Homo-oligomer: A and B are copies of this chain.
Amino acid sequence: MARASTTSDVFNALGDVHRRDILDVLIAGEKSVGAIVDSLSMSQPQVSNHLRVLSEVGLVKRRAEGRHRLYSLAPERLRPLHDWVTKYERVINDRLDRLDDYLQELQRRGDGSGL
């Protein structure tokens, strides 16, 4: 069965750093393909193809204006990712809390174990 396709799974779509780069460029706002090409060092067909993937998976929206196609973020689609990461925040914080406790414990003891 392999992985879910890049065009159907947001996580997999973001598995390519170039696509993340494109999204990062789009944070500033709507941009044409040419503008994206200029911002990043990628060929036009490469950018167009990554945009196709991002569009199919729902991470960007397309709008036509004359001979330009303007792409913009569809950040709602990042929600699955956001939610997934959020689940782990608790785990991360728990660990940090425990580390904190441990360090404070050490300090309370004031032991000179040399470790």
Contacts and interface: CB of A to CB of B under 8 A. Distances in A.
Interface string A62-86: 0000000000010110110110110
A115 interface: no
Contacts of A78: 85, 88, 92
A73 B88 contact: yes
Contact of A95 (B75, B85, B88): B75
Contacts of A16: 3, 12
A111 to B, nearest CB: 25
Pairs A-B, 9 closest by C-beta atoms: A15-B15, A12-B15, A75-B92, A75-B91, A3-B16, A75-B88, A82-B85, A11-B14, A11-B15
